[in-house]
Amino acid sequence: MSTMKDVAQKAGVGLGTVSRVINRTGSVKESTRIKVEQAIKDLNYQPNEVARNFKMQQSQSVALIVPSIWHPFFSEFAYFVEKTLSSNGYKMILCNSESDAQKEINYINMLEKNKIDGLIAITYSEDIDQYVSSNLPIVSIDRHFTEDVVYITSDNHKGGQMAAQQLVNRGCTNIAFMGSISTIKNESMYRRNGFEEKAQEIDISCVIFEKEEPIEHLEQTIEGFVSEHPELDGIFAMNDKWARIIINTLEKQGKNIPKDVQVIGYDGLRSSKEAGLTFSTIRQPVQDMGEQAVTALLNIIHEEPVKSRIVLPVEFYDGFSTV
């Protein structure tokens, strides 16, 4: 007697995909569905109705992968994801991956085995790409994968343009972008592009400082760059972490923020739910990103239409680091 494993092998897919075709749950490409149904017919496979009925009882749980819950953006994002899932009758399982690819792969395996109904992922692990399939209910935040999966992002390009324009509007004449380059293709790379394009459009002096990740001795590296460029009076940092280090470094060098140098970050991080923002930054709509990620994932799970790329607007927050 043929088994589900036999069907999966003949169709060239995973067990989870066969299960979703049989139980008509989750997202499966039409071409994949046809292959699985043909394999079922060829092998005369008869699903076990008891097991089928059990599997049709969804777990009503979704996993969220974040690199580190210590990071304010990831923890705030997780808060809104959990809140939105809960309002829709789902539980959230948190994977604090710490960039451990095997941890992340384990959660994809859980998804394939129907132990969870879907996955929302913020991941920068290189090895995970080969395990991500467009047949699985997955929503990515910022990152691109080889397979076409739905992803949510803020308008990074617009944010970069906004930062350049704000610095110029506030009297800066020598500006710079400071950040790092990841080997993982993701939307954050467009922050530099937008900044540089706007600087060229305005015809203002612009210096680009980018180092490949991982960067050892980040503080010393930043200190060396700002020391080599005393003419700078405006800096756009790739994220708020960089902005905070840049501000501290400049102040150690005796610079007055924002009188001598104005600094703009990117993210809009808060230290707590009650705390406000401090320095100037391009603020991402964290709550909207969390809610949109859940909505997109539930649409995939219930086989409803969903856009493959969802871009959300950003806004400038005027803090103490700009005049």
pLDDT at 69: 92
pLDDT score recorded for residue 75 = 94
CATH classification number, 4-55, choose in 1.10.340.30, 1.10.10.10, 3.20.20.140, 1.10.260.40: 1.10.260.40
**Alpha carbon separation from 168 to 29, 80, 323 (Å, rounded):** 49, 35, 11
Q: Candidates 3.40.50.450, 3.30.70.270, 3.40.50.2300, 3.60.20.10; correct CATH number of 156-284?
A: 3.40.50.2300
> What was the pLDDT predicted at 213?
86
- Of 66, 70, 68, 101, nearest to 81 by C-alpha is 66
Query: Using one digit for the tens of pLDDT, what is the confidence trace for 62-101?
Result: 999 999 999 889 999 999 999 999 999 999 999 999 889 9
What is the distance of C-alpha 182 from the center of its chain? 13
Task: Answer whether 322's CB lies under 8 Å from 258's CB.
Answer: yes
In the numeric block, which tokens belong to residue 103?
Answer: 């941890």
- What are the angstrom distances between the C-alpha of 126 and each of 102, 122, 144, 190, 215? 11, 12, 11, 20, 17
Please tell me the pTM assigned to this model.
0.81
Contact criterion met (CB below 8 Å) for 5 and 112: no
Give me the numbers of helices (H) and strands (E) for the chain, helices first please.
Answer: 11, 12
- Is the per-residue pLDDT at 27 higher than 90? no
Give the residue among 68, 64, 81 at the shortest CA–CA distance from 117. 64
The answer to whether 61-154+286-313 and 156-284 have equal CATH topology is yes
* Mean pLDDT taken over the chain: 90
Angle between helices 30-43 and 15-23 (to 10 degrees): 90
User: For position 1, what pLDDT does the model report?
Assistant: 64
Looking at residue 2, its pLDDT comes to: 78
Out of 36-40, 48-52, 69-73, pick the least confident: 48-52
> Peptide bond preceding 214: is omega within 30 degrees of 0, i.e. cis?
yes
User: According to the model, what pLDDT value does residue 303 have?
Assistant: 74
Q: Which pLDDT value is given to residue 49?
A: 53
Q: State the architecture of 61-154+286-313 in CATH terms.
A: 3-Layer(aba) Sandwich (3.40)
